[in-house]
Amino acid sequence: MAPPTDATRRSAPDAALFPEITPYATGRVALDAVHTLRWEACGNPAGVPLVFLHGGPGGGCLPHHRRYYDPAFWNIVLYDQRGAGRSTPVAALADNTTPHLVADLERLREALGVERWLVFGGSWGATLALAYAQAHPQRVLGLVLRGVFLATAREIDWFMHGMRTIFPEAWDAFAGFLPPDERADLLRSYYRRLTDPDPAVHLPAAHAWDRYESACSTLLPQAEATARFDGDTAALAIARIEAHYFVHQGFLAPDQLLQGVPAIRHLPCTIVQGRYDVVCPPVTADALARAWPEAEYVVVPDAGHSVREPGITRELIAAVRRMQARLG
């Protein structure tokens, strides 16, 4: 099945995607005494397995995440990571670390009887994709990465402070949400509020965090990019879990993911990066591409960070189609 051509593509963010699709199967995996993971599968049950890793961390999956891949060829698996989306409990931080998420993905693979799969992830999803592939390279057919984030201290500092260079109004609102005596350490101050048990404390902080990130995520303003965090549950999950991972440096050793590239250089990989990505600037994707010269590196000249940027959508679909030709 072919996606719409340029002649039929409309201005709506989803117009270039494959048609809407519903899962042929859904389920849950009990991870431990606290966490339960929710998954779904779409497309061809006998097709080549592909797993989608959402961003955040804490972002959860949405229906449009099913539509970047040919459903006649791929067996498309989507799942919500610990604390995100329809996994339970939502916004929970206990035993929520990168090693836990890597182990969860491997446990899901085993539960579904998948031998190997293509791993597709953007932003934090790219972080987790790299961590998983480096831990389990024998289980990976290849990777498609978008808006690369390596969870380094430099990137976290850029998110908390550097984005004001491009979006000073958004940053002023983000920092200005906090009382003056809490602004010396924005991350720790937000983390204290986001983990406060009182909704009157954590919910306003969550919405302030999400407004800041959303405002910086697209080249031009897009209502669709911000609407998903209007609800309290989704807003709290992504803000609280992101802050949790940022405070702990992504639960990764310094430069762990770059240093781990030699273990996966034999795998096919496409990196798709928006030239004007402010949330995850191109310098990070460029560093990954330099460490991984075999990878295909595509810079979209008219795009920011969001997966819903038209140029990002176009290049992701093309990247998966090239993987399909390679694997088919």
Q: Which are the catalytic amino acids?
A: 123, 277, 305
DSSP string, 70-128: -TTTEEEEEEEPTTSTTSBSTT--TT-SHHHHHHHHHHHHHHHT-S-EEEEEETHHHHH
Q: Which CATH superfamily, name and number, covers 25-151+251-327?
A: Alpha/Beta hydrolase fold, catalytic domain (3.40.50.1820)
CB 245 within 8 A of CB 251: yes
Average pLDDT over every residue of 96-112: 98
Tokens of residue 226, six digits: 């911000």
For residue 317, pLDDT beyond 70: yes
Tokens of residue 261, six digits: 């590239």
pLDDT band at 2; cut points 50, 70, 90:
very low
Q: Which of 58, 23, 56 is nearest to 42 (CA)?
A: 23
How many angstroms separate the Cα of 321 from the Cα of each of 119, 120, 176, 273?
A: 14, 13, 45, 17
What does the pLDDT look like over 126-164, one tens digit per residue?
999 999 999 999 999 999 999 999 999 999 999 999 999
pTM reported for the whole predicted model? 0.94
Tokens of residue 251, six digits: 């639960």
Distance CA 61, CA 84 (A): 8
What does the pLDDT look like over 16-54, one tens digit per residue?
899 999 999 999 999 999 999 999 999 999 999 999 999
Query: What b/e sequence results for 82-95 when a residue is b if at least 16 CB atoms lie within 10 Å of its CB, and e otherwise?
Result: bbbbbbeebbbbee
Taking the domains of the chain in order of start, what are their residue ranges?
Answer: 25-151+251-327, 154-250
For residue 190, pLDDT beyond 70: yes
Tokens of residue 262, six digits: 């030699």
pLDDT band at 200; cut points 50, 70, 90:
very high
Which uninterrupted H or E stretch holds 102? helix 98-112
Q: Which of 50, 37, 53 is nearest to 125 (CA)?
A: 53
Q: Say whether 186 sits in a helix, a strand or coil.
A: helix
